[in-house]
Amino acid sequence: MVREVALAASGELPLAASGELPLDAPAPAGENDVPAALPEPTVVPSPPPAGGCVLFLPGPEGYRLLEREHEPPLPGERIEVEGASFCVLRLGPSPLPGDRRRCAFLER
- When pLDDT is cut at 50, 70 and 90, the band that residue 107 belongs to is very high
- Smallest Cα–Cα separation from 68: which of 39, 45, 34, 91? 91
At 54-82, the pLDDT tens digits run 999 999 999 999 999 999 999 999 999 99
At 2-19, the pLDDT tens digits run 444 454 455 555 555 555
What kind and span of H or E run contains 98? none
Enter the DSSP assignment of 31: S
Residue 87 predicted with pLDDT over 50: yes
Q: With a threshold of 0.75, does the pTM exceed it?
A: no
Contact 27, 75 (CB under 8 A): no
Overall size of the chain counted in residues: 108
